[in-house]
């Protein structure tokens, strides 16, 4: 990523961190997944949301 | 960033062998159509990126770099086709020879290979937009908004922003679907608990009363309240054992299922709406057709750039008609899309009802085992599986249509064996011996606990899904906010630069021009001011020439935004063909003033445009390669300005006709430039077909007049130095004209009948010398000065005779 895309990505992560609406773990994993050259699948992103949000289901 | 010092092309496209030396400066490749100019552009494109834009992408079916990159005579030998550029990295000043061969287009060699130069080449590979043709220019202006957004985003390297947006949207949809399913699961689990405890509400007080009734029977501690974590059957394990069975609860389960089978208004209503919507779909085949093609048309419409369908290659008379046809299809499919949405909604409601009945089957099923009616158990199981498969088929329009008949006749399809069996199952349960009260209580608590646990798990899953949805929604919203803000700022900047550049070119008639770029949902609308009468799409009222101008200006605004200080090279292949002469001069000024650090390699077939680039100072006099024609076997017939006397000398030994041809062509071009610089009068020819005969006398006469003016001026100012300088120029002129007069018999042969080609070397050598001497009259004495001498001031009020380096600067004004 370069230029404007990189700026948007960086601002996006800052926005997530500052807002407090998104668990830290989700922000970290999203940061890593979206920075890959090969784009992740939507299922992988959904799994990040599931894993990082709410209490674990017994 | 990168700039080009030399270009060496071997057996590539229409070129056999060619050397050019732009030397890091702006450079013109001039020649008639079909003379091989675009081959130079392709070669630069190939050397820098490993690809040739003209041989890839849409509209290039069957053509490829590997097959059609090499010269046609070397088409089976891609190793012979190669391009070498001597490139300079302006930031470090490093230079290297970059070579790429068609056989291995992805590989390049650099000599010397330094980290900075490797990085510079890799940078160039990722910037194919450095090479631009008219076809590419116009796409920024005339493309449909969706396609424009794609093109602009690709140029601005923004593709990933849109991809990220779509990815996050897709993930949000998945989580949303899960949340919906988890809500249904909770509803089913609550039903099961309510039915078992025979309650209407799951309020803590009611739950306590129902559960404590059983706990009291077993002498267990009574519950004060029921929370999700409450163990309803706590202590039951320690109570007296018994093979208990809660008959009443089981009967309620079976009754609930029977009642649903007998009366399922919710399902019927949802099915009725669904079948009605499906009926509309089936009644009009064009709707279905529109739906099937909708996605295809959505993809295809932005790709229409010529009068050929981008989806099926069907030729059309006009790209506008094709675009209108596809837009019509898309509009018709809007109705279809709305119907599809209704079908999906109704199908979703049917699915919820089916999940509900499967929940009822699931709770009734174990009772069949208890009363040893294994056949009923199997029938219930099979029915549940059938409903599950039916439910799955309602998930997509295609499979859903296959279920139309079932939806219309009997969506539940209760197995025949079950129709009486549920009544028999109920009788069998009823016939069970009554358990002891203690057994009843124990069983009731055990089942209550089991279902309470299931409800707790369903609620936990729902809470998890709700949290995941909140996260997904917050992420998606955040990305949109950030991306929209960045894109809006970006487009505002581009819009402002675009307007500024266009105003510079069209200051005479559109000095108040403004433009508006509006990004929206994957589209990019472009509207431009039309003489203060409103904002319209560029194609609405502006001429083709103005549109060309807009295309280049928008490209420059975009690329300047993307590359910033790294913008040091642009290769433009005949990009301003339709722009008129006056506006092209302004375009030269734009390039020169706004992009002084950029090396422009510009091809054109237009002599006037080439001269404008030189006279404006955008390109110096030696930075021009003139292609006179092209042949399959030889490639471009080529002559550069700087070395044409040497080439003529070389030809004199064994190719007088070749020397004669070069001399005439180059004199025509030089005389035209000199005439323009001296403001000499030449009979106007609308087709610009001025030949040598028109220039010689005109230039000679004007030069003489200017020297007279110079002498008169020097006398009026009593400037002896100037007088001497003018006298020296007059003496040179006399000599040159004498020499020319001496060869007049031969020069006239050239001028009037093009007979030089038939002369011998001995005859022709003095002609060449006389012409050389004559043209030198119009050059500065400084060998490093590139320009012809030119007049400053308007005809009739000439101010000075100058050259661009300042060595010659003669006053023409009298005191």
B228 token code pair: 């999700």
- Lowest mean per-residue pLDDT among A40-54, B188-202, B669-683: B669-683
Closest residue of chain A to B167, computed from CA coordinates:
A42
Q: For the sheet with B82-89, list strands across it.
A: B15-20, B3-12, B82-89, B94-101, B108-111
Higher pLDDT, B135 or B105: B105
For residue B478, give the nearest of A5, A12, A57 by CB distance: A12
For residue A4, give the nearest of B463, B472, B490 by CB distance: B490
Q: Do B605 and B32 form a contact (C-beta atoms < 8 A)? A: yes
Say whether pLDDT at B773 is over 70.
yes
What confidence category does residue B609 fall into, taking pLDDT thresholds of 50, 70 and 90?
confident
Handedness of CA B107, B111, B113, B119 (dihedral sign): negative
What confidence category does residue B242 fall into, taking pLDDT thresholds of 50, 70 and 90?
very low
pLDDT over 90, % of chain B: 34
**Mean pLDDT, chain B, whole residue set:** 85
Nearest-5° Cα angle at B768, B766 to B769: 65
The predicted pLDDT at position B22 comes to 93
Phi, psi angle pair for B689, to nearest 5°: -90, 50
Q: Quick count: other Cβ atoms within 10 Å of Cβ A36?
A: 9
pLDDT tens digit sequence for B176-205:
989 988 999 999 999 999 999 999 888 888
What ipTM did this prediction achieve? 0.97
For residue A52, give the nearest of B164, B471, B478 by CB distance: B471
**Beta strands B624-631 and B635-640, pairing class:** antiparallel
Tell me how far apart the alpha carbons of residues B485 and B328 are, in angstroms, rounded to a whole number: 33
Gap from B502 CA to chain A (nearest CA, Å): 25
Handedness of CA B756, B762, B768, B770 (dihedral sign): negative
| Beta-carbon separation of A4 and B161 below 8 A | yes
| Beta-carbon separation of A8 and B482 below 8 A | yes
Say whether pLDDT at B542 is over 50.
yes
Using a CB–CB cut-off of 8 Å, the residues of A that contact B are: 1-5, 7-9, 11-12, 15-16, 19, 21-23, 26, 30, 34, 39-40, 42-43, 45-46, 49-50, 52-58
Q: Do B777 and B703 form a contact (C-beta atoms < 8 A)? A: yes
Closest residue of chain A to B459, computed from CA coordinates:
A57
| Beta-carbon separation of B460 and A55 below 8 A | yes
Gap from B153 CA to chain A (nearest CA, Å): 10
| Beta-carbon separation of B475 and A49 below 8 A | yes
Cβ contacts of B156 on chain A, cutoff 8 Å: 3-4
Buried/exposed code over B327-336 (b: 16+ C-beta within 10 A; e: otherwise): eebbebbeeb
pLDDT tens digit sequence for B785-797:
767 888 888 888 8
B49 token code pair: 């990126």
| Beta-carbon separation of A57 and B478 below 8 A | no
Cβ contacts of B490 on chain A, cutoff 8 Å: 4
Tell me how far apart the alpha carbons of residues B549 and B561 are, in angstroms, rounded to a whole number: 18
Gap from A32 CA to chain B (nearest CA, Å): 13
Say whether pLDDT at B395 is over 70.
yes
Q: Do B601 and B29 form a contact (C-beta atoms < 8 A)? A: yes
Gap from B120 CA to chain A (nearest CA, Å): 15
| Beta-carbon separation of B171 and A46 below 8 A | yes
How many Å separate Cα B273 from the centre of its chain?
42
The predicted pLDDT at position B59 comes to 59
Using a CB–CB cut-off of 8 Å, the residues of B that contact A are: 156-158, 160-161, 163-164, 167-168, 170-171, 173-175, 178, 457, 460-461, 463-472, 474-475, 478-479, 481-483, 485-486, 490, 562
Mutate to test the interface with B, among A2, A4, A22 (most CBs of B within 10 A): A4
Tell me whether residue B377 is exposed, middle or buried, using C-beta atoms within 10 angstroms of its C-beta: 0 to 12, 13 to 18, 19 or more: buried
Cβ contacts of A50 on chain B, cutoff 8 Å: 175, 178, 464, 468
| Beta-carbon separation of B474 and A43 below 8 A | no
Say whether pLDDT at B306 is over 70.
no
If phi > 0 it is left, if psi is from -120 to 50 it is alpha, else beta; for residue A57 that is beta
Mutate to test the interface with B, among A25, A31, A41, A46 (most CBs of B within 10 A): A46
Cβ neighbours for B364, distance < 8 A, ≥ 6 positions apart: B253, B254, B256, B257, B380, B422, B425
Cβ contacts of B457 on chain A, cutoff 8 Å: 57-58
> pTM for this structure?
0.58
For residue B470, give the nearest of A3, A53, A58 by CB distance: A53
Cβ contacts of A42 on chain B, cutoff 8 Å: 167, 170-171, 173-174
For residue A57, give the nearest of B464, B478, B490 by CB distance: B464
B31-40, B219-228, B463-472: range with highest mean pLDDT: B463-472
Cβ contacts of B562 on chain A, cutoff 8 Å: 3
| Beta-carbon separation of B460 and A58 below 8 A | yes
Closest CA to B39 of B13, B17, B64: B13
Cβ contacts of A43 on chain B, cutoff 8 Å: 171, 174
Mutate to test the interface with A, among B475, B480, B494, B558 (most CBs of A within 10 A): B475
The predicted pLDDT at position B260 comes to 92
| Beta-carbon separation of A50 and B468 below 8 A | yes
The predicted pLDDT at position B110 comes to 95
Say whether pLDDT at B748 is over 50.
yes
For residue A46, give the nearest of B161, B174, B485 by CB distance: B174
The predicted pLDDT at position B750 comes to 61
According to the 3-state scheme, what is the secondary structure of B315-372? ECCCHHHHHHHHHHHHHHHHHHHHHHHHHHHHHHHHHHHHHHHHHHHHHHHHHHHHCC
Q: Quick count: other Cβ atoms within 10 Å of Cβ B160?
A: 20
B142 token code pair: 């005339």
| Beta-carbon separation of A21 and B471 below 8 A | yes
Gap from A45 CA to chain B (nearest CA, Å): 6
Gap from B563 CA to chain A (nearest CA, Å): 9
| Beta-carbon separation of B490 and A23 below 8 A | no
Say whether pLDDT at B595 is over 60.
yes
**Beta strands B790-794 and B809-811, pairing class:** unpaired
| Beta-carbon separation of B471 and A12 below 8 A | no
B13 token code pair: 């496209």
Closest CA to B548 of B579, B503, B593, B502: B579
Cβ contacts of B479 on chain A, cutoff 8 Å: 12
Q: Quick count: other Cβ atoms within 10 Å of Cβ B414?
A: 18
Tell me how far apart the alpha carbons of residues B291 and B318 are, in angstroms, rounded to a whole number: 26
The predicted pLDDT at position B101 comes to 95
Higher pLDDT, A1 or B803: B803
Gap from B344 CA to chain A (nearest CA, Å): 21
The predicted pLDDT at position B310 comes to 67
For residue B478, give the nearest of A3, A15, A53 by CB distance: A15
pLDDT tens digit sequence for B34-55:
888 989 999 999 999 998 887 7
List alpha helices for B371-415, DSSP H: 374-393, 397-402, 404-409
| Beta-carbon separation of A8 and B467 below 8 A | no
Tell me whether residue B288 is exposed, middle or buried, using C-beta atoms within 10 angstroms of its C-beta: 0 to 12, 13 to 18, 19 or more: middle
| Beta-carbon separation of A50 and B464 below 8 A | yes
What confidence category does residue B144 fall into, taking pLDDT thresholds of 50, 70 and 90?
confident
Cβ contacts of A2 on chain B, cutoff 8 Å: 157
Tell me how far apart the alpha carbons of residues B473 and B41 are, in angstroms, rounded to a whole number: 48
């Amino acid at each position: 990523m370069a230029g404007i895309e990189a700026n948007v990505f960086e601002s996006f992560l800052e926005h997530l961190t500052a807002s407090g609406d998104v668990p830290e773990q989700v922000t970290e994993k999203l940061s890593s997944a979206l920075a890959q050259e090969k784009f992740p699948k939507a299922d992988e992103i959904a799994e990040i949301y599931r894993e990082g949000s709410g209490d674990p289901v017994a | 960033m990168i700039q080009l010092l030399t270009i060496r092309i071997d057996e590539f496209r229409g070129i056999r062998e060619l050397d050019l030396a732009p030397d890091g400066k702006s450079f013109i490749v001039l020649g008639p159509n079909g003379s091989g100019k675009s081959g130079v552009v392709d070669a630069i494109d190939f050397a820098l990126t490993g690809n040739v834009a003209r041989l890839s992408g849409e509209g290039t079916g069957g053509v490829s770099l590997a097959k059609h990159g090499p010269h046609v005579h070397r088409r089976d030998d891609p190793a012979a086709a190669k391009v070498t550029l001597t490139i300079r990295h302006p930031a470090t000043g490093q230079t290297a020879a970059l070579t790429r061969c068609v056989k291995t287009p992805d590989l390049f060699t650099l000599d010397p290979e330094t980290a900075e130069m490797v990085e510079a080449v890799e940078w160039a590979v990722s910037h194919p937009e450095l090479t631009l043709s008219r076809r590419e220019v116009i796409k920024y202006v005339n493309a449909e908004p969706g396609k424009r957004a794609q093109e602009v985003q690709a140029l601005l390297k923004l593709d990933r922003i849109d991809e990220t947006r779509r990815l996050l949207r897709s993930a949000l949809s998945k989580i949303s679907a899960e949340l919906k399913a988890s809500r249904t699961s909770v509803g089913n689990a609550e039903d099961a608990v309510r039915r078992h405890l025979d309650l209407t509400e799951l309020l803590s007080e009611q739950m306590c009363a129902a559960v404590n009734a059983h706990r009291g029977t077993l002498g267990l501690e009574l519950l004060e309240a029921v929370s999700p974590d409450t163990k309803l059957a706590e202590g039951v394990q320690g109570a007296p054992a018994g093979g208990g069975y809660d008959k009443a609860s089981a009967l309620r389960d079976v009754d609930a299922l029977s009642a649903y089978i007998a009366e399922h208004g919710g399902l019927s209503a949802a099915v009725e709406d669904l079948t009605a919507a499906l009926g509309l779909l089936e009644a009009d085949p064009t709707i279905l057709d529109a739906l099937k093609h909708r996605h295809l048309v959505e993809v295809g419409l932005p790709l229409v750039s010529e009068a050929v369908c981008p989806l099926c290659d069907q030729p059309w008379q006009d790209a506008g008609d094709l675009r209108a046809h596809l837009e019509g299809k898309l509009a018709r499919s809007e109705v279809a899309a709305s119907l599809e949405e209704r079908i999906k909604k109704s199908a979703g409601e049917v699915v919820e009802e089916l999940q509900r009945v499967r929940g009822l089957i699931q709770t009734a099923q174990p009772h069949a085992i208890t009363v040893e009616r294994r056949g009923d158990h199997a029938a219930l199981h099979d029915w549940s599986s059938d409903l599950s498969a039916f439910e799955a088929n309602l998930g997509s329009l295609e499979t859903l249509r296959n279920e139309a008949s079932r939806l219309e006749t009997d969506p539940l399809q209760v197995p025949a064996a079950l129709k009486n069996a549920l009544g028999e199952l109920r009788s069998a349960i009823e016939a069970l011996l009554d358990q002891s009260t203690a057994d009843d209580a124990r069983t009731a608590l055990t089942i209550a606990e089991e279902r309470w646990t299931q409800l707790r798990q369903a609620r936990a899953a729902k809470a998890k899904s709700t949290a995941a949805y909140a996260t997904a929604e917050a992420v998606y919203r955040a990305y949109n906010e950030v991306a929209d803000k960045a894109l809006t700022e970006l487009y505002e900047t581009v819009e402002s630069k675009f307007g500024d550049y266009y105003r510079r070119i069209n200051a005479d008639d559109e000095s108040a021009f403004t433009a508006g770029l509006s990004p929206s949902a994957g589209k990019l609308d472009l509207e431009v001011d039309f003489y203060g009468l409103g904002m319209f799409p560029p194609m609405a009222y502006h001429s083709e020439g103005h549109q060309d101008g807009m295309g280049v200006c928008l490209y420059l605004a975009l690329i300047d935004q993307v590359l910033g200080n790294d913008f040091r090279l642009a290769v433009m292949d005949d990009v301003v063909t339709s722009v008129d002469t006056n506006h092209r001069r302004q375009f030269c000024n734009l390039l020169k003033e706004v992009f002084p650090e950029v090396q422009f390699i510009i091809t054109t077939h237009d002599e006037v445009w080439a001269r404008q680039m030189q006279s404006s100072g955008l390109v110096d006099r030696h930075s021009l390669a003139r292609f006179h024609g092209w042949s399959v076997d030889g490639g471009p017939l080529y002559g550069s300005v700087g070395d044409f006397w040497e080439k003529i000398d070389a030809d004199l030994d064994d190719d007088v006709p070749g020397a004669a041809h070069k001399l005439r062509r180059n004199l025509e071009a030089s005389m035209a430039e000199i005439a323009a610089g001296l403001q000499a009068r030449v009979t106007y020819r609308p087709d610009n077909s001025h030949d040598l005969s028109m220039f010689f006398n005109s230039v000679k006469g004007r030069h003489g007049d200017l020297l007279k003016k110079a002498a008169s001026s020097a006398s009026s100012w009593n400037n002896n130095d100037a007088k001497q300088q003018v006298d020296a120029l007059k003496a040179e002129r006399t000599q040159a004209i004498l020499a020319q007069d001496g060869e007049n018999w031969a020069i006239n042969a050239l001028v009037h009948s093009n007979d030089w080609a038939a002369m011998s070397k001995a005859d022709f050598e003095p002609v060449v010398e006389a012409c050389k001497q004559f043209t030198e009259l119009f050059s500065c004495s400084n060998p490093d000065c590139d320009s012809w001498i030119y007049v400053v001031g308007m005809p009739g009020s000439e101010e000075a005779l100058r050259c661009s380096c300042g060595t010659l600067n003669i006053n023409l004004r009298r005191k």
